[in-house]
A and B are shown apart, each in its own frame.
Chain A
Amino acid sequence: MTTDKQTLLRVEDLVKHFPIYRGVIRRKVGAVRAVDGVSFEIKQGETLGLVGESGCGKTTTGRTILRLYEPTSGHVYFKGQDLAHLKPEEMRKARKDIQIIFQDPYASLNPRMTVREIIGEPMLAFGIASGKEIDDRVAELLDLVSLDHNYASRYPHEFSGGQRQRIGVARALAMNPSFIVCDEPISALDVSIQAQIVNLLEDLQKELNLTYLFIAHDLSMVRHISDRVAVMYLGIIVEIANRKDVYVNPLHPYTQALLSSIPVADPKFYEEHQRIILEGDVPSPANPPSGCRFRTRCPIADEHCAEVQPVLREITSGHFVACLKVTPIDDQKEVIN
C-alpha cells in the first residue's frame, strides 16, 4: 500500500555510543551502546512506529537522526543528503525540514516566552518572516492545532497539558517541515486527552502530507497510528514490518512477549488467554550480552544464540526479523495475541 511511495528518510547502520568516564582525569572506561547499528526507511507520508522498553534507545535514535546528538557512525539519508555528515551550517538549513515534538509538554516550552514567541521563534531565527507576518502565521498555526488565536499572548503555565502539547505541535509545524520525530508525544497526557492529540497528528498528516517517526511505549496507540512498526531491544532493531504483520503475526520472541504484555481493556480476555511473562530485566546497554542481545530473557534461546549475533533478515515480503530461530523456510508459528 505504501510501496509506490518515495523513500523520504533512510537510516543506515546508525550508531550512537555515549562514553563513560571515570576518575579524576576522566579516563574513558567504556560506552553506553545506546544505538548500536540501526537501519530503516520511512516513505513519504508514512508513519513508522518505534517501540521498545525504557532505555532501549528510541529517543537516542530520534535525536541522532536530527543531529541533536552527534552520530558515532552511520548514515541518515534525507532528501538526497546524508544528514550525519553535513557541515553545521548545512545542517542548520536542513533542520527547517525536520522537527521534533517532545514527550514532556511542561518542560519543552520556555516558561518565560509567550505562545507567540515560542511558535514564532524558529521563523525569526531563520529570518524567513518578521513582525506582522509572524503574527499571521502564528494565528494560522494555532488555528491548525485547534487553539484559540487569542491565546498568542499567554504564557505556557496558563495552559493544560494537552493544550501545551498542541503548542509544541504548532511550533514544530512553523517551518513547514516534511518530517517530524514525535518522541512520546502523548505519554505525559491524561487518557481522555491522548486521543485528541493523536487525532490532531493524524489530521495534520493527511492535510500537510507529513511523515512521522512515532516513538512510544504505548503499543496499542502505536498500532493505531503506524503504517509500519520497528521493535527495538538494547540498541538494535529486532523486528520491522507492516503494522499488521507485527501485531498479528509477530515473529521475534521479544515482540511476541512485548505484545502479550499489553494490558487489554477487556476482563474476558484474561480468562481466555495465557500471557507470556518475560523473566528478568533488560541488561545494561554498556555491557550487552554476546550473540543475540535478547537471549538472556528469551524462552527459546540455546547455546548458539550466545555466539552469533543475528542480523535482520527478510522472512516474508517486507517483514524483517533478527532471530536465529526464525528462518524464511520456517512454518509460521502459532502466536498468542
Chain B
Amino acid sequence: MANQLLNVRGLETQFNTPEGIVHAVNGVSFTLDEGESLGVVGESGCGKSVTMLSCLKLVPIPPGKIVAGNAFFKGEDMLTMDSDEIRKVRGAQISMIFQDPMTSLNPVMSIGNQMAEPLMLHMGITKEQARKRSIELLEMVGIPQAADRLKDYPHQYSGGMRQRVMIAMALSCMPQILIADEPTTALDVTIQAQIVDLVKRLREELGMAIIWITHDLGVVASIANRVSVMYGGFIIEESPVKDLYAEPLHPYTIGLLNSLPKINREERQRLYSINGMPPMLFKKPKACPFAPRCEFVKDHCWQENPVLESYGRGGHRVACWVDVTTGRER
C-alpha cells in the first residue's frame, strides 16, 4: 500500500458576510496517497477551492473561519501549525497553482526574479544556481528560449505560457503534492490539452501526488485516478475514476454526466437537464442538499443528511439514501 500523504477529517469552513454566514465547507473528509491523482469536481461555489485553501491555511480570516476538522499532512495537523511551520509546508512540500495566473504572478517583477526568490529561500541556493535551475524548470514546462525569456515580465507571456510558468514555480522545490485549482479553465482547449499533457508527464517523471480541481468532467477523466464530487459544501460521491463514469451512484453525478452533450448522438435530442439551481449556503443543511433538485427524492431525504458510505465496488462511496439502480431507499 502506498503511503498516505494527506488525511483531511471533518473540515468545516464558514464565511461571515453582510448577508449572513456562508457555510462553504460542511464536514469534508478525504485522503490522498503518495503518487495519487485526485480529481475534485463540482459546480461554481460548491466549496472546491475553499476546501483546499482551508487545508493550507490560506483562507482569509476574517471573514473566513475554520470551524472544525483536521488536515493531517504526513501525520501532522496543518490546521494547528504556526505560521512558520505551515509556510515551510506550503513552500516546499505542497504547492498550489491557481485559476488565474495573472493574479498570482507579480506584474512588476521579471519572471526570472520571481522564480529565483523561492528557490533561494527554500532550497538555500545562490542566485546563479537559482538562475540555472529556473531555466531548467522553464525548459521542462516547454517555454522556448527560456534563458532569454527570464528577463521578461508576466504581461509579455501568453496565457498558456503564464500557466506554464506557474507550474514551473509550483514544481521548483519538488513538492510531494501539487494542488491545481482549475489551472486550465481560462485557457483554450488546445492549450488546455498541452497543460494537462504536461502535468501528466511531470507526474510520471517526478512521482508527485496531484489534486486537480475543475468543473469539467472531461478534464477529470483525462487526469485523475480517483474523483470526489462536491455539492453544497459536501463531498457527495467519491470513486475510482472508471467506476464513477461507468456506474455513478449519486443522482447529482448522474445528472451532471447526462447533461453533457452526447458524442454519438445522431438525431437532435433534447439535453437532459437538472432542474433548479445550486443551493444558497446561508444555512447548514439538515437534510440532503440535493433533495430540492433530485428526481429520486424520498421523504427521508428531506429529514436527514446522508453521509458518505461505501457501496458498489471497492473504494466507491456515496452520500445518498436512495439506491439509484432500484429507485428505492437503501
Residues of A near any B CB (own CB < 8 A): 53-54, 160, 162-163, 190-196, 198-199, 202, 217, 219-221, 223-224, 257-258, 260-270, 275, 277-282
Contact = CB atoms under 8 A, between A and B. Distances in A.
Nearest to B243: A267
A264 B221 contact: yes
B240 to A, nearest CB: 9
Interface stretch (B76-84, B112-120, B171-179, B258-266): B258-266
Contacts, number: 113
A265 B221 contact: yes
Nearest to B272: A195
Given A190-B43, A270-B221, A265 B189 contact: no
Contacts of A265: 217-218, 220-221, 245, 257, 260
Nearest to B219: A263
B326 interface: no
Contacts of A279: 194
Interface stretch (B49-57, B64-72, B146-154, B273-281): B273-281
A162 B276 CA distance: 10
Q: Which of A53, A193, A195, A278 has the most CB of B within 10 A?
A: A195
Contact of B271 (A190, A199, A280): A199
Question: Which applies to chain B's interface (DSSP): helix, strand, loop or mixed?
Answer: helix
Nearest to B277: A160
A196 B273 CA distance: 6
B270 A278 contact: no
Given A199-B271, A263-B192, A190 B218 contact: no
Given A192-B274, A263-B221, 15 more contacts: A162-B277, A190-B278, A217-B189, A219-B189, A224-B265, A224-B271, A257-B190, A263-B217, A266-B245, A275-B193, A275-B197, A277-B197, A278-B193, A278-B194, A280-B144
B188 interface: yes
A282 B261 CA distance: 27
A191 B219 CA distance: 14
B271 A258 contact: no
A262 B216 CA distance: 11
A261 B263 CA distance: 14
B261 A217 contact: no
A263 B216 contact: yes
Nearest to B258: A195
Interface of B: 43-44, 144, 158-161, 188-194, 196-197, 215-222, 241-242, 245, 255-257, 259-263, 265, 268, 270-274, 277-278
A191 B218 contact: no
A330 B160 CA distance: 35
21 contacts: A53-B189, A195-B259, A195-B271, A195-B274, A196-B273, A198-B271, A199-B273, A260-B193, A261-B192, A263-B189, A263-B216, A264-B218, A265-B218, A266-B245, A267-B241, A268-B242, A268-B245, A270-B221, A277-B197, A279-B194, A281-B158
Contact of A263 (B222, B265, B274): B222
Contact of B270 (A163, A202, A219, A258): A202
B191 A281 contact: yes
A261 B192 CA distance: 8
Contact of A267 (B159, B245, B277): B245
B130 to A, nearest CB: 27
Among B161, B190, B273, max chain A CB count under 10 A is at: B190
Given A195-B274, A265-B221, A268-B242, A278 B263 contact: no
B43 A191 contact: yes
A71 B265 CA distance: 38
Given A220-B263, A258-B189, A261-B192, A192 B245 contact: no
Nearest to A193: B277
A221 B216 CA distance: 13
9 nearest interchain CB pairs?
Answer: A263-B218, A224-B261, A195-B273, A261-B193, A195-B259, A53-B188, A195-B271, A190-B43, A261-B189
A150 B314 CA distance: 50
Contacts of B261: 220-221, 223-224
Given A53-B188, A224-B261, A277-B194, A266 B221 contact: yes
Nearest to A265: B217
A184 to B, nearest CB: 13
A277 B83 CA distance: 42
B270 A264 contact: no
A198 B197 CA distance: 31
A280 B158 CA distance: 10
B212 to A, nearest CB: 12
Contacts of B189: 53, 217, 219, 258, 261-263
B161 A281 contact: yes
Nearest to A220: B261
A156 B257 CA distance: 30
Contacts of B259: 191-192, 194-195
Contacts of A260: 193
A291 B193 CA distance: 26
